[in-house]
Amino acid sequence: MKIILAEFEDIILNFPQQIREIAVAEFELKLMPDKWSKKEILGHLVDSTFVNYSRFIRAQFEENPQIYYNQEEYCQCGSYQDTEVIQLCNLWHSLNRQLLFLFQQIIDKKLLMRTCNGHSLEFLMQDYVVHLKHHRNQILAQ
């Protein structure tokens, strides 16, 4: 878990500046009408943080809560394509700093084996960081 948390912390520290270095036109470009722009991918990561935060909170006091969401609908309803880049980046950064703090609290309280959606919180933490890295790479790709 130390490696995962270190990777997560590194992304939180560096990703916002990397986003700010992307030209707005490139960040908002939709290669196809039915595909997300890099900006919408960042919005998806915001949604993912919100949903996962709820998972990690509720799994501490509920037995195996079932928390899912419709990624496409969330992204569309969030209007991320029309959100100011800095505002969206700051939201992502703040939410993920809090999620990292929550991960550390769960580890300290020895709650890694609690479950949500049939998976341990340890698995969900690792999966969250893998998912984040995948989409970060999409956003940073040339």
Q: Which CATH number fits domain 2-140: 1.10.12.10, 1.20.120.450, 3.40.50.20, 2.60.120.10?
A: 1.20.120.450
Locate the DSSP E strands across the chain: 115-116, 119-120
Confidence (pLDDT) at 142: 79
pTM to 2 decimals? Answer: 0.96
Give the pair of three-digit tokens for residue 103: 């991960």
Over its length of 142 residues, how does the chain's per-residue pLDDT go in tens digits?
999 999 999 999 999 999 999 999 999 999 999 999 999 999 999 999 999 999 999 999 999 999 999 999 999 999 999 999 999 999 999 999 999 999 999 999 999 999 999 999 999 999 999 999 999 999 999 7
Could you tell me which of 79, 84, 88 has the C-alpha nearest to residue 45?
A: 88
Spell out the domain ranges in the chain.
2-140
